[in-house]
Chains A and B, each alone.
Chain A
Amino acid sequence: MKIQIEEKILSENDKLALENRKLLAQHKVYSFNIISSPGSGKTSILETFLTELPKHHRVFVLIGDVQTENDAMRIIKAGYKARQIITGGACHLTAKVIGRHLNELDLHELDMLVIENVGNLVCPAAYDLGEDDKVVVLSVTEGEDKPLKYPSIFSKASLMLLHKIDLLPYLKFDKQKAIECAKALNPHLHIIETSCFSGQGFKEFIAWISSRLQEKRARVKNKGD
């Protein structure tokens, strides 16, 4: 007997992601999921981002890593609330794992949930977590053709941080080509050049995130009324 199903392979994850999205909307919490290769600078970006973010924003950070709680410690040392999720080998976070943490957090006391995914450009692209935006980091110490090698994440992200930009004079990285590749995959992708060393780009990054947060609040309010 033949049976037609026609469902997404990850439909169970997608269902749980939708539940997470609804829960976050209920509490007017804006969320972004930061994704990159290992060593691109995700945790440093978050340290600088949180330090420069206006203090009235109430933020919680969930950090996925295969091993160690070093990254959560860094965020906590900087004075912010964070929780480490050790995946013990898994190379991505899933909606189920995030959902479990959402149920344990005081969401009504938060404005923003930041999820730092496991360093990997493949699997995190396939697993929706219920976030509002995916932020992809490409550092200039990597190849400029990375968007072409990992098209899925670059086509799904809303924002790309072209990071470690202060190192550009010392590298052969073709910045224009990297931007062209990313834009060709995703014409709506917003790109900001950032450096934790010089602080370049962080004002713009924070302004972009703040405006997405305001947009979400307006959207949720209109729906709620």
Chain B
Amino acid sequence: MQPITIMESDVDFMHELSMAKNIIDKAQKVLKEHNAQKALAIYVKIGELSSVEKESLEFCYGVLIKGMQEFKECQLIIEQVKWVVRCNECESIYNPNEHLLRCPQCQSQDYILVSGNELDFVGMEVE
């Protein structure tokens, strides 16, 4: 039996490029919904755990908006969010990366996530 092979032609390429494409798709939808002519800024939040590189995302965004008149003046504003957890034993707030994954106060490894997982489209400025 031969495998049935499907070539996917419309899938997204690479991590930051696919994120940038998702951001622009969303922004285009927002422009349309608000009957706006052009975008001035797009605000996103990227958490430390999301494995998205700020510089790569900016680069990919810049490549994708080339030739798109409505995004000509639009800045992509990226807020980077640190990985922060709260210790379930002593309630200390800390970044596990800076403390080798243990609570700096009580050495516990039992925590809940406070931030760091963000991949959020926060909003836009349009005209």
Contacts and interface: CB of A to CB of B under 8 A. Distances in A.
A7 interface: yes
Given A151-B49, A185-B101, A187-B109, A6 B5 contact: no
Interface in A73-121: 73, 76, 82-94, 96-97, 101
Given A87-B11, A185-B101, A8 B5 contact: no
A5 B51 contact: no
Contact of A187 (B18, B110, B122, B126): B110
A123 to B, nearest CB: 5
A209 to B, nearest CB: 23
B68 interface: no
Interface size class of A (residues with CB under 8 A): 35 or more
Contacts of A10: 19, 22, 119
A1 B126 contact: yes
A7 B121 contact: yes
B101 A181 contact: yes
Contacts of B82: none
Contacts of B66: none
A98 B18 CA distance: 17
A184 B120 contact: no
Interface centre among A7, A9, A73, A88 (most CB of B within 10 A): A9
A97 to B, nearest CB: 5
A89 B44 CA distance: 26
A126 B22 contact: no
Interface string B1-24: 111111111111111001100110
Interface in B72-127: 83, 96-97, 101-102, 109-110, 117, 119-127
Given A9-B44, A9-B121, A3 B11 contact: no
B32 interface: no
Contacts of A125: 51
A181 B44 CA distance: 30
A122 interface: yes
B15 A8 contact: no
A93 B8 CA distance: 10
A85 B5 CA distance: 6
A174 interface: no
Interface string A148-161: 10111001000000
Contacts of B11: 87-88, 90, 93-94, 96-97
6 contacts: A9-B44, A85-B6, A90-B18, A92-B15, A181-B101, A184-B109
Interface of B: 1-15, 18-19, 22-23, 25-26, 30, 34, 36, 44, 49-51, 83, 96-97, 101-102, 109-110, 117, 119-127
Given A3-B30, A4-B123, 4 more contacts: A3-B124, A6-B122, A8-B119, A13-B22
Interface of A: 1-13, 69, 72-73, 76, 82-94, 96-97, 101, 122-123, 125-126, 148, 150-152, 155, 181, 183-185, 187
